């Protein structure tokens, strides 16, 4: 099919200019891709009858979340430019759509709209017809429905004082959610619940709590997608229970304002363990995640995130923590990331909104023993295997008082990320100080690679770290945090090509076949049976970063 190329558009984000050449099918369509500029991408089009328009699918968002208007008999060609499978489900059953098995990364799906009207659709893996990953096609001169512009409901942060027990008052968790009002507590008895629970936007401020963290179990049986999926409902808390064997995620908040996950276990889930996307004012605390091919913990696609991860353990995952385009007052503190392929990995990426990644504080964490080839793993976890902390194309991050040991390919590594497809994300103004780093026998305890113009280090600096080796040599002298650098930080920099060399590295193990160790004993939430519900607030978590110190080495290391 013939294609006509548009001229490059300059996309300016945080003073950076990214040149993006966009090719569209048949018709000349102007698209402004605003990822990273503080708003969701939108498509607008002026077409002639019979044109074919491209609709980009990123991870967790359709770029035409703002309505795409087309003419009668136009064809919309969706392309999956993310890193995950998605599906397209029409609100009108059978009107159009594609199953996730036929819409993997790189796949296309096309449909010709022959009748005027409003056509809504969603990805069932990452949303419902009411929220999350949704899209709308306006065909012909129909008016856009007013509700398309409705804002995300604002939670009140108040508990109702009402408790719904399961199975006492309601036989299932979903029925309890459906029967709940704002601020209610849903209290789950010990037992196994074979459900995939959806919390829609009308159910703000509810709390879903188990009586026993280790014996209140949501079971996916490797067939259900998400243990608990919270869509646009702010203030929702999930606490003191286990979610295991889901094909996607243990618990998933998307598009919410205010959320909290406390005293949770997420085990052997097929994508992420505990997952917040395009959600703000969040707290993930006192929780455990293992056995996921992507990340045990994830917060991403938010600016400012205004969120906190504190006192969690993430092990036997592809990545301990990952946060694509997670930006603005996000703190990761006092946590342990061990025996993953790699530990803590904030990164920039075009495949999710609000690039680039920036302004994380990573403080007081243990990251050790990563490089575990026996875990499930997505592609980047296979490639970036054996690292403690990676900043991949992020800016303005602070990495302090962490103990990073026995990660073979790199301890703390900051680098420009050449994503491909025309995208290169520079690492700028990252500060790495007061960390203890050792045991990176195949790479360097500290690593740095910057590919931008000029001879300065683009504001990246390293100081007061205790370490054995660095790439390049004498990195703290070449890129200091005060004064002028001595030496050349470009001489023998961290070797990105070596990181991409997978020789001898094991491929991913299927998450449902991996021999993931059982969940170690985990502490219970205090007074789970009697504690009042405490909805998540819509304010930034209060956390004193200055009080955090470097953690002690684990026994035997």
> Could you count the other beta carbons within 10 Å of the beta carbon of residue 394?
31
207 in Cβ contact with 258 (< 8 Å): no
Task: State the SS3 of 294-352.
Answer: CEEEEEECECCCCEEEEEEEEECCCEEEEEECEEEEEEEECCEEECCCEEEEEECCCCC
Q: Over the stretch 398-421, which tens digit does the pLDDT of each residue have?
A: 999 999 999 999 999 999 998 888
Mean pLDDT of 15-20: 29
Confidence of residue 386 (pLDDT cuts 50, 70, 90): very high
Residue 12: the pLDDT is 28
Omega before 304 cis (within 30°)? yes
Out of 35-49, 98-112, 411-425, give the one with best mean pLDDT: 411-425
Residue 183 zone, left/alpha/beta (φ > 0; ψ -120 to 50; rest): left
Q: For the sheet containing 74-80, what is the strand order?
A: 61-62, 52-58, 74-80, 108-113
Q: Is the confidence at residue 497, as pLDDT, over 80?
A: no
> Global pTM?
0.84
Q: Which of 213-227, 284-298, 501-515 has the lowest mean pLDDT?
A: 501-515
Domain boundaries along the sequence of the chain? 3-141, 174-500
Q: Which of 5-9, 90-94, 422-426 has the lowest mean pLDDT?
A: 5-9
Distance from C-alpha of 82 to C-alpha of 63, rounded to nearest angstrom: 11
Residue 311 zone, left/alpha/beta (φ > 0; ψ -120 to 50; rest): left
For the chain, what is the mean pLDDT?
85
Residue 486: the pLDDT is 83
Tokens at 438, concatenated: 């050792």
Tokens at 505, concatenated: 């590295």
Distance from C-alpha of 246 to C-alpha of 221, rounded to nearest angstrom: 7
Confidence of residue 477 (pLDDT cuts 50, 70, 90): very high
**∠354-344-322 over CA atoms, to 5°?**
35
Q: Which fold has domain 3-141?
A: Immunoglobulin-like (2.60.40)
Q: Over the stretch 328-338, which tens digit does the pLDDT of each residue have?
A: 999 999 999 99
Q: Over the stretch 70-96, which tens digit does the pLDDT of each residue have?
A: 888 888 888 887 667 788 888 878 888
Q: Is the confidence at residue 150, as pLDDT, over 70?
A: no
Please count the residues of the chain. Answer: 557
Mean pLDDT of 127-149: 74
Residue 3: the pLDDT is 25
545 in Cβ contact with 363 (< 8 Å): yes
Q: Is the confidence at residue 46, as pLDDT, over 80?
A: no
Residue 270: the pLDDT is 97
Q: Over the stretch 299-333, which tens digit does the pLDDT of each residue have?
A: 999 999 999 999 999 999 999 999 999 999 999 99
Residue 325 backbone dihedrals phi, psi, to 5 degrees: 60, 35
Residue 133: the pLDDT is 77
Q: Is the confidence at residue 5, as pLDDT, over 60?
A: no
Q: Which of 154-168, 363-377, 438-452 has the lowest mean pLDDT?
A: 438-452
Q: For the sheet containing 226-231, what is the strand order?
A: 197-199, 226-231, 249-254, 274-277, 295-300, 319-324, 342-347, 387-392, 410-415, 444-449, 470-471
Q: Over the stretch 220-252, which tens digit does the pLDDT of each residue have?
A: 999 999 999 999 999 999 999 999 999 999 999
Report, at the CATH architecture level, how domain 174-500 is classified: 3 Solenoid (2.160)
Confidence of residue 139 (pLDDT cuts 50, 70, 90): confident
Q: Is the confidence at residue 20, as pLDDT, over 50?
A: no
Between residues 377 and 450, which one has the greater pLDDT?
A: 377
């Amino acid at each position: 099919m013939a294609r006509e190329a548009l001229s490059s558009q300059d996309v300016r984000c945080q003073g950076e200019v990214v040149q993006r050449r966009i090719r569209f099918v048949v018709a000349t369509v102007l698209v402004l891709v605003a990822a990273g500029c503080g708003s969701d991408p939108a498509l607008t089009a002026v077409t002639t009858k019979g044109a074919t328009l491209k609709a980009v699918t990123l991870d967790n968002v359709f770029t035409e979340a703002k309505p795409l208007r087309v003419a009668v008999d136009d064809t919309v060609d969706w392309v999956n430019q993310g890193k995950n499978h998605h599906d397209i489900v029409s609100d009108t059953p059978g009107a159009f759509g594609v199953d996730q098995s036929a819409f993997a990364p790189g796949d296309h799906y096309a449909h010709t709209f022959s009748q005027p009207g409003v056509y809504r659709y969603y990805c069932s893996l990452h949303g419902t017809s009411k929220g999350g990953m949704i899209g709308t096609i306006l065909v012909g001169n129909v008016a856009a429905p007013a509700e398309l512009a409705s804002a995300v409901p604002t939670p009140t942060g108040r508990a109702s004082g009402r408790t719904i027990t399961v199975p006492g008052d309601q036989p299932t968790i979903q029925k309890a959610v459906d029967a709940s009002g704002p601020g209610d507590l849903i209290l789950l008895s010990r037992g196994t619940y074979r459900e995939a629970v959806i919390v829609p936007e009308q159910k703000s401020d509810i709390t879903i709590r188990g009586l026993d963290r280790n014996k209140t179990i949501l079971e996916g049986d490797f067939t259900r997608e998400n243990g608990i999926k919270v869509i646009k409902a702010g203030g929702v808390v999930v606490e003191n229970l286990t979610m295991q064997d889901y094909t996607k995620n243990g618990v998933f908040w998307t598009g919410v304002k205010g959320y909290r996950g406390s005293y949770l276990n997420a085990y052997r889930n097929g994508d992420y363990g505990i997952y917040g996307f395009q959600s703000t004012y969040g707290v993930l605390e006192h929780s455990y995640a293992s056995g996921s091919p992507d990340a045990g913990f994830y917060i991403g696609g938010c600016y400012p995130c205004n969120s906190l991860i504190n006192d969690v353990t993430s092990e036997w995952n592809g990545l301990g923590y990952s946060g694509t385009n997670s930006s603005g007052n996000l703190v990761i503190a006092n946590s342990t990331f061990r025996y993953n392929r790699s530990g803590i990995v904030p990164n920039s990426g075009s495949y999710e909104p609000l690039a680039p990644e920036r302004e994380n504080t990573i403080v007081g964490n243990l990251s050790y023993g990563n490089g575990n080839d026996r875990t499930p793993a997505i592609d980047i976890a296979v490639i970036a295997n054996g690292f403690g902390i990676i900043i991949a194309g992020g800016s303005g991050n602070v990495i302090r008082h962490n103990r990073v040991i026995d990660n073979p390919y790199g301890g703390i590594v900051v680098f420009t990320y050449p994503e491909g497809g025309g995208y290169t994300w520079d690492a700028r103004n990252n500060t790495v100080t007061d960390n203890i780093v050792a045991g990176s026998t195949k790479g360097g305890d500290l690593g740095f690679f910057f590919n931008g113009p000029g001879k300065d280090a683009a504001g990246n600096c390293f100081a007061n770290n205790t370490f054995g080796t660095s790439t390049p040599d004498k990195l703290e002298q070449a890129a200091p945090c005060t004064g002028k650098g001595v030496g050349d930080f470009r001489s023998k920099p961290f070797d990105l090509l070596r990181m991409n060399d997978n020789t001898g590295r094991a491929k991913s193990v299927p998450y449902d076949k991996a021999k993931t160790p059982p969940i170690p004993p985990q502490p219970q939430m205090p007074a789970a049976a009697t504690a009042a519900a405490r909805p998540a607030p819509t304010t930034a978590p209060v956390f004193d970063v200055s009080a955090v110190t470097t953690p002690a080495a684990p026994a035997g290391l």
